[in-house]
Structure 1
Amino acid sequence: MSNIKQDPSIRNLLNRMPEEVQQSFTEEQLSHLKIAIGARQWGVHAVDCRGVVRLFKYRYYFVLLAGRNRRQLSATEKKASAIAQATVVTFVFFIVLLFIYLLKSALGINLFEGFSLGIWTYFKSLFL
């Protein structure tokens, strides 16, 4: 039996056909079927960057895909997603808070007389 017929995607395709039809495909036809099946697996992505890099005598391919996840998430993936989302929201919240504090300090507004966190002084020392 040939190597291409051992490929899982080709095996899955052939198993859905009558035996006489399975045997009628040539190696070249099966190779082209594999390419056609592989080209349709990914669907449409917001970012789809594919290319080949030649390095010495070898060629390496790269694929960068990004887009909305349409799959159902497992419980572990949902938990990881919730943690990542909470981390990002917390980080953005603190960045916005820092920006507001720096803006307040730049305008010379003191909420408590004689009290400073020292952030404005440190920020000014970075740029002077």
Structure 2
Amino acid sequence: MSTAAQDALIHLMIVAATSDSAITDRELARIQALIGRLPVFEGFDIDRLEDVANACADKLNGPEGLDGLLDQVIDTLPKKLQDTAYALAVEVTAVDLFLEQEELRFLEMLRDRLELDRLTTAAIEVAARARHRRMPA
């Protein structure tokens, strides 16, 4: 796995987490946990995470903004990682068990840009909800 592709996946997770204007401690912890345990991040130097996050913020605040960042991320990712990219974005937004309108809009935007069919994205979304569900009170 190339460092550029790993960075691109992290950028998507950060954008997903900040799409509702604030990154929560739970979202940050989920990003770190995913990086620490998923095979796609094997070999990633966790000490680089802050630099990768800052680069993401710079791109978001740059002249091309979110559209430019998404274009760059999608161009960087191998086609076989597009479902992984969507799954990571959903995983980060689902951690709070409630998606704000901005998070839903970001996921819709990402879904439109990735070459994934609706059945695949629906399955990813249902699986994330199932993983984050808590026992009823």
Structure with the largest fraction of strand: 1
The one of the two structures with greater contact order (alpha-carbon pairs below 8 A, sep at least 6) is 2
TM-score (ref. length: structure 2): 0.19
TM-score (ref. length: structure 1): 0.20
Bigger Cα Rg: 1
